[in-house]
Amino acid sequence: MLNGDNCYTVSVSAPGKVILHGEHSVVYGKTAIAVSLGLRSSIVIKEVKTAGEPVVYIHLPCVGLQETIPLNPTVKALFNPPLCAGVTGKFTWKIPGKLDHDCHLRKVNEFLHMMKPNFDELPSNQKNSLRSFLYMYSGIFGSTNVQIKSMDISMGSELTIGAGTGSSASFAVCLAGALLRLLSLKAHPAAAFEPPQGFEPHEREAISAWAYNCERIMHGAPSGIDNETCTFGSVVSFKKGSKPRHLDLRLNLRVLLVDSRVSRETHALVVKVAGLRQRNMAAVDHIMDALDDVAHTATQILEKLSGGKCPADTDADYQHLAELWDMNHCLLASLGVSHPALETIRGFARARSLACKLTGAGGGGYAMILIPPSTPRTAVDSLTGQLLENGFRVTETCVGGPGVELEM
């Protein structure tokens, strides 16, 4: 959108993600399936007129951050980012995978320390958000000739941060989507007078790749499944050592996302499973194989469900999927990664014949309850009431919906 002051406004949203199948077994080379979550983050970037030097105003209430960044020093320190060693030519925003990530990130860190001498004392979520913004802004705009202006950036999210529902990827995808669209509008001003178009597949590829670089800032060596799921939505299948594969399914599975309110550490749970395997190699490997089969069969059912089958088949498919969710949970429990709180949640769901599984690392965190379309509203309401009475947090939402979207 272009206003009378020749300033653009861009609004973008992106979903979070949950793991549907393949937790823990993915560590041992099996397939994992992630789906987009109905809870989304959103961003509004507005170019604004300012009297003095150009600045970026950043409002990130989810991490309690409000910051003003001067643009002239940013341009001087961070524009024209370097290419990876051995790659010739000039870096452009179209090839984020060829950016010398470590070198660019080091410059971003140096700049932040210079601009904010107390940078090290900030909470790590604020540090990561600031690093990510500067990294991406300078990476994308720093390889072009478009004229930069002051901007006001606001970001919100329905996701809980640090809970395994992909808030960092959702944040990074929103940021990349909005910056790339702003760049495209500024580079092709005539497009601002045409009806806004959603993101094209090639734009999504670039968004996901920039978000992946951001995920590297937050997580070191991520698999890429989160940025891919938050960008493309729907279902993403992943195996260690290969690129995540987006399955273009039209799904809208209703779920109750239940927060057990038990905090857990992913790393400790992964270590626990490794110990169990060390002592019981053959048995644990059979469980991993079973988890792999569950992931593959569930994918086939999701493919059927997305094909718009007749209602009778849909019921049978949901029943089969529910059976697989239960089996998946019990296999994970046999690896020692459930928790009494998760079992309580499952008990409440099973009393209403609904399937429930942990999602993510387990040991606490979230459980998901599948709500097939035929489930009576009263059953969902009474289950929600019981979960809330017992101190759990409950969100009714969908999985498998759209990825990054331009908000009109």
Ligand X SMILES: Nc1ncnc2c1ncn2[C@@H]1O[C@H](COP(=O)(O)OP(=O)(O)OP(=O)(O)O)[C@@H](O)[C@H]1O
Ligand Y SMILES: C[C@@](O)(CCO)CC(=O)[O-]
Partner whose footprint covers residue 155, from ligand X, ligand Y, none (CB < 5 to 8 Å by kind): ligand X
Q: Which is nearer to ligand X, 162 or 385 (CB)?
A: 162
Report the b/e string of 381-406 with b at 16+ CB within 10 A.
eebbebbeeeebebbebbbbbbbbbb
Locate the DSSP E strands across 330-377. Answer: 356-359, 366-370
In angstroms, what is the minimal distance from the CB of 44 to ligand X? 12
In angstroms, what is the minimal distance from the CB of 68 to ligand Y? 35
User: Is 186 within 8 Å of 1 (Cβ atoms)?
Assistant: no
User: Is 403 within 8 Å of 231 (Cβ atoms)?
Assistant: yes
In order, the DSSP letters of 69-120 are: EEHHHHHHHHSSPPBPTT--S---TT-GGGB-HHHHHHHHHHHHHHH-TTGG
Which residues in 157-196 contact ligand Y (CB under 6 A)? Answer: 164
User: Is 85 within 8 Å of 100 (Cβ atoms)?
Assistant: yes
User: Is 316 within 8 Å of 254 (Cβ atoms)?
Assistant: no
Q: Which is nearer to ligand Y, 81 or 224 (CB)?
A: 224
Q: Which is nearer to ligand X, 26 or 185 (CB)?
A: 26
In angstroms, what is the minimal distance from the CB of 54 to ligand Y? 40
Half-sphere exposure of 205 (CA within 13 A, CB side): 8
In angstroms, what is the minimal distance from the CB of 23 to ligand Y? 4
For position 231 contacting ligand X by CB under 6 A, the verdict is no
Size of the site for ligand Y (CB under 6 A): 10
For position 168 contacting ligand X by CB under 6 A, the verdict is yes
Partner whose footprint covers residue 167, from ligand Y, ligand X, none (CB < 5 to 8 Å by kind): ligand X
Which residues in 322-361 contact ligand Y (CB under 6 A)? Answer: 360-361
Q: Which is nearer to ligand X, 43 or 78 (CB)?
A: 43
Residue 237, strand partner residues: 33, 245
Q: Which is nearer to ligand X, 87 or 163 (CB)?
A: 163
Under 8 Å CB-to-CB from 141, ≥6 apart: which residues?
A: 79, 93, 148, 179, 183
In angstroms, what is the minimal distance from the CB of 361 to ligand Y? 4
241 CB neighbour count, 10 Å cutoff:
7
Please identify, among the stretches 17-25, 57-65, 192-200, 328-336, the one whose residues bind ligand Y according to the rule CB under 6 A: 17-25
Partner whose footprint covers residue 259, from ligand X, ligand Y, none (CB < 5 to 8 Å by kind): none
Partner whose footprint covers residue 218, from ligand X, ligand Y, none (CB < 5 to 8 Å by kind): ligand X
- Tell me the C-alpha distance between 198 and 155, whole Å: 20
Residues near ligand Y (CB under 6 A)? 19, 23-24, 26-27, 164, 266, 270, 360-361
Question: Which residues of this protein are in contact with ligand X, per CB under 6 A?
Answer: 41, 60, 62-63, 125, 128-129, 155, 157, 161-168, 171, 218, 226
